[in-house]
Structure 1
Amino acid sequence: MSLFSTLNDEQWLQLLEQVAQTFNEVTLSRGFNYFKQQRVVRLVASEDRVIQAWVTGSEEYKVTLHLNHFKSNSCDCPVQTSCKHQAAVIMELADRLGYPASQIVNAKHHLKRITSTPSPESQINQLPSMKIKGWHEAMNQYTSRVTPAYDLGMYSDALRSQLQTIRKDSIDFSDGDRIFFELHQELFILRKMKEHSAQNNVNYYTSFALYRLSDKIQDWLEQQSSLVDFTLHAERLKETLEYIRQQMLDETKHKYLDLGLYTALWEYGIAHSPEGSHWVSQEITELEKQTSDSPSASLLAAKAYLYLYQSKSKEAWEALQESNAVIKVPASLFFPFLNRIRDSHNWDDLVDWLIKTASYFYGQKNKELDTYMDYWKTAISHVPEAENHLWTVLEGMLPHSISIMEEVLYEQRKWKPWLELQMIQGHDPHSHKVSVLQPIEKEAPELLLPFYHQAIERYVALKNRHDYKLAVKLLKRLDKVYKKMKQVDRWERFFTGFIERHSRLRALQEEMKKGKLLE
């Protein structure tokens, strides 16, 4: 018989009742010491739910548990019945089956608590009449047997799997409550993951699961925004905002994680509602109350975000700076703010914020820099004179901004500074596909001359056959550039002098013959 088929939840409660009736507290305490000392050295399940085990002490004793006939339990120690060895075996059995051994030690107390606390199933049926705080308490109890895993991804899957056993179709939810309960199931999982992460040394790869779930919730909010108006369910929305504010207030390790959820809820669930401005004013009042007592960086950032809905750009930036809220924040924190300003078409404010936030993007990964640059491109398309500010910002970001400067110059077809930047970095025509240089050959071929000449001389100076081959390829391309400029005589003068200067380099001469540059 498999050990894991010996107990289910109902039988576990029966076992607690039998332990409470059979063992005294002293014996249970001694048995718990034996259990912790790992003195149960072997445990086997046989037919009819009979457990045989061996416990080491001053001697080794055999214990037999009859789970169907508890009074028939035995031990070959001098006490024989209701002894510490039997207690230790029961605790070992519980632990192996995933039940807390501590509940065996405190069986009477635990049974009293169970009878005074509604069962998870009865709480689930009461969900429609509960506040959202009650939802989280019910989910906490419903998932109490889910064991936290070091891997947060596995832990979240286990929590979600347990919550999916709730038969929501049988619960008398309104349509609005059903949507909000679905949201709060994910928020509950996120909170449990954060709590576990805060208590343990979770590595980067594992904690990434937190941000992945946060992104998933934000995507869900965006999808739901086209299906439901959250403001039509005012009480649930108010409770949800209160819940997320509290999460931001309590945050420690993963700062600004909940701020992303908060801004997403506003962006997708509230902002576009006819009642949006009323909700903004009301929420700012709540945030001012909380930040006056506890200047949480996330709550101050939330207040700043809402000021932007009121077109109060100056007040928003001041709120971010209050209590050093913007010190050491991730650059991505500013994206919701920049989105809000862009979507409100306040282009001068957008330029101002892009200048103020520039330093946060120094040394950032390409993805974040690319997003930041997209805002600049949008701003410049509406405020062309802002381009001067962009170049000042990019110069301040050097060397991290070189690739962006190249991209901007190329997009604007500013060929001369683009080519100068290539040469400064030691790049040459071989660094690019032929198609990259084709527009320059067509529009301003004369600008390519120093680019080609410099590269050719550098390859020849290396004096090896491989680089001679590269030099010959560039010579052939340079020939085409001169012909494009209709300056064949100038090419011939250059090429004649080139041959004379390098006449002693036999390998180069051979490569030029292979390339049909020489007879």
Structure 2
Amino acid sequence: MSSPIINDDQWLQLLEYVAETYSDVTLSRGFTYFKQQRVASLIISDTRVVQAKVEEGESGNYRVTLNLDKPRSSQCSCPVPASCKHMAAVWMELGDRLGYPASQIMNAKMHLKRITSTTSLESTLLQLPKMDVSGWQKFLNHYTSLIKSTYDLGNYVDMLRKQLQNITKITIPFSDKDQIFFDMHQELFILRKLKEQNVQGGVSSYTSFTLYRVYDEIHTWLKQKSPLLNFSVAGVRLEQTLSYIRQQMAEESGHYYQDYGVYTALWKHWVAPDPEASHYVTKEIEALETMTVDSPSPSLSAVKAFLYLQQSRSKDAWEALEENGIFKEAPAKLFIPFFDYLYDTQNWEELVNWLRRSASFFNRKRTKELDVYADLWTKAIVQLPQAEEHMWTVLEELLPYSFRIIEEMLYEQRKWKPWLEMQIIQGHDPLYHRVNVLQPIEKETPKLLLPYYHQAIDHYVSLKNRHDYKLAVRLLKRLDKVYKKMKQTERWEHFFSGFVERHSRLRALQEELRKGKLLG
């Protein structure tokens, strides 16, 4: 035949007929007959009428007549007046022979619902470019509504991402600009869903890890995509996005500051490069000043302060931070965007001012924020050497958390004397370090190493066991090199002869000295 007996549209019409007239029980029984191959014969006439025979075992056979053009006029010779299991089995056999899955007949209602859902989804997806970003967020919420949170929030994020990846299977007529913004709002959506889980289930360390991982991924993404964005055509979407994040911050309580961090990162990578950045500053401050009256959120206050700083209103910025009653409990990470902005604009005096004023917020267990804080101090004093005294004062105030930082700074700045004093305070000795650590000191001021070596040697000898004697000998051999660096061989010989005489009764030590070729 030149044309198919049933085309796709006719098949869908048949499914609609079956869904309306056959019960689920009848279809299930018909499917059983189909699987048992009880449809013994099936003939299709030129008039599109199907004649079939269905075997019923001891009850004999039943004859089924199906009319493809008028399915409601179809008949069966069994006692059931219409829509029986025998007719259902023949419909399935017919579909199978014509290349359509029999399971679609058995699950006609579900299959039609799925088709309708897919069609509706495609229609909605095609409307996305016309929606604003709040419409995108509503769509994403509906699209992932069947994804339920689990205790493993990392797995929950993976399931959300997998569901969202299905969107890419349909071509959406996004412009390049809108595609970037839509992709970003998918990331913001995932962050929002995680925050919702925090509110519902409480925050655990595991939850926080997932939350901060997603937060860091957004930061990285914003930085990577920035060069691809044409700011001259991004205005409306950018304003919508800033408004969306502001609303998220207004709903945020406590000191999480995830949305604040996203906002400041968005500003740094997407807004600041825009020639019209000052225009956005003014508009955003106006919006924030209105919002903070109605929603005194810590995040909103922090963002307002951050934008005041863009206008060189440092005093107003600090006051904006303090206007929130729980400012003193704010985490150190709150200040990093302020520091970054002042560093990027090379406003060194103001950077030092903010580093000094915020010092108490970093007086906590060493974190990456404290490392960033200390690094900014070192960069600032390169430009403002007169601020170095303030830096050391602040770092001393942050002890004990700043201990390692001070130690590293002293070494980097080749301040060997205080660095060695810190080693002695910690109970370290020259063997604690790799040889190359002490090499710069041996080269520049070897004299400073003498107390460090002598104290360690006396300590190991006082322990009076062979293992520590061996360590003492190792140190003596290195001390010999130090004296040679100082060109004071006679002083070494005088010390060493006195050392040997003092410990002449320690036979094990004398043996180790000989093994080390320090004694003949």
TM-score normalised by the shorter chain: which range applies? 0.7 to 0.9
1:511 aligns with 2:501: no
**Structure 1 letter corresponding to 2:279:** H
Who is 1:28 aligned against?
none
Who is 1:382 aligned against?
383
Who is 1:229 aligned against?
230
Q: What is the aligned-residue identity percentage?
A: 58
User: In structure 2, what is the Cα distance between the partners aligned to 1:178 and 1:480?
Assistant: 66
How much does 1:18 deviate? 8.0
> Which of 31, 35, 43 is the equivalent residue of 1:48?
31
Aligned residues of 1:482 and 1:491 also touching (Cα < 8 A):
yes
1:482 aligns with 2:483: yes
Change (3 A) 1:132 1:366: closer
Aligned residues of 1:304 and 1:316 also touching (Cα < 8 A):
yes
The number of residue pairs the alignment matches comes to 434
User: In structure 2, what is the Cα distance between the partners aligned to 1:173 and 1:510?
Assistant: 83
Who is 1:457 aligned against?
458
Deviation readout 1:419-440 (Å, 9 max, x if unpaired): 1221122111111112111221
Who is 2:105 aligned against?
none
Alignment of 1:152-191 (within 5 A): 152-167=153-168, 170-191=171-192
How much does 1:408 deviate? 1.4
How much does 1:253 deviate? 6.5
User: In structure 1, what is the Cα distance between the partners aligned to 2:448 and 2:181?
Assistant: 62
Superposed CA RMSD: 3.5
Aligned residues of 1:231 and 1:237 also touching (Cα < 8 A):
no
1:284 aligns with 2:285: yes
Moved more, 200-209 or 339-348: 200-209
Alignment of 1:379-418 (within 5 A): 379-418=380-419
Aligned residues of 1:300 and 1:325 also touching (Cα < 8 A):
no
Deviation readout 1:351-406 (Å, 9 max, x if unpaired): 11111222222233353332222101110000001110111111112222222222
1:504 alignment partner, SS class = coil
Who is 1:467 aligned against?
468
Change (3 A) 1:438 1:163: closer
Aligned residues of 1:376 and 1:390 also touching (Cα < 8 A):
yes
**Structure 1 letter corresponding to 2:270:** G
1:166 alignment partner, SS class = helix
Moved more, 289-298 or 309-318: 309-318
**Structure 2 letter corresponding to 1:272:** P
**Structure 1 letter corresponding to 2:246:** R
Aligned residues of 1:120 and 1:138 also touching (Cα < 8 A):
no
Unaligned runs of at least 5 residues, structure 2: 1-11, 34-79, 86-112
Who is 1:355 aligned against?
356
**Structure 2 letter corresponding to 1:389:** H
Who is 2:448 aligned against?
447
Alignment of 1:10-409 (within 5 A): 48=31, 119-167=120-168, 170-201=171-202, 203-230=204-231, 232-252=233-253, 255-365=256-366, 367-409=368-410
Aligned residues of 2:442 and 2:449 also touching (Cα < 8 A):
yes
How much does 1:119 deviate? 4.2
Aligned residues of 2:253 and 2:297 also touching (Cα < 8 A):
no
Unaligned runs of at least 5 residues, structure 1: 1-9, 23-44, 51-68, 74-110
Deviation readout 1:118-152 (Å, 9 max, x if unpaired): 94443322222222211211222222222222222
User: In structure 2, what is the Cα distance between the partners aligned to 1:232 and 1:320?
Assistant: 33
**Structure 2 letter corresponding to 1:488:** T
Name segments (4+ residues, structure 1) moved above 4 Å: 69-73
Who is 1:96 aligned against?
none
How much does 1:343 deviate? 0.7
**Structure 1 letter corresponding to 2:136:** W
How much does 1:290 deviate? 0.3
User: In structure 2, what is the Cα distance between the partners aligned to 1:136 and 1:72?
Assistant: 47
Aligned residues of 2:302 and 2:334 also touching (Cα < 8 A):
no
Aligned residues of 1:229 and 1:270 also touching (Cα < 8 A):
no
**Structure 1 letter corresponding to 2:295:** S
**Structure 2 letter corresponding to 1:334:** F
User: In structure 1, what is the Cα distance between the partners aligned to 2:305 and 2:375?
Assistant: 22
Aligned residues of 1:229 and 1:273 also touching (Cα < 8 A):
no
How much does 1:247 deviate? 0.8
**Structure 2 letter corresponding to 1:268:** H
Change (3 A) 1:443 1:171: closer
Change (3 A) 1:518 1:452: same
Aligned residues of 2:253 and 2:298 also touching (Cα < 8 A):
no
Who is 1:81 aligned against?
none
User: In structure 1, what is the Cα distance between the partners aligned to 2:504 and 2:212?
Assistant: 64
Aligned residues of 1:120 and 1:141 also touching (Cα < 8 A):
no
User: In structure 2, what is the Cα distance between the partners aligned to 1:319 and 1:168?
Assistant: 46
**Structure 1 letter corresponding to 2:240:** E
Aligned residues of 1:429 and 1:452 also touching (Cα < 8 A):
yes
How much does 1:256 deviate? 0.3
Aligned residues of 2:254 and 2:298 also touching (Cα < 8 A):
no
Who is 2:3 aligned against?
none
User: In structure 2, what is the Cα distance between the partners aligned to 1:347 and 1:49?
Assistant: 82
User: In structure 1, what is the Cα distance between the partners aligned to 2:417 and 2:360?
Assistant: 28
How much does 1:415 deviate? 1.5
Change (3 A) 1:498 1:485: same
Change (3 A) 1:234 1:460: same
Aligned residues of 1:304 and 1:317 also touching (Cα < 8 A):
yes
How much does 1:349 deviate? 0.8
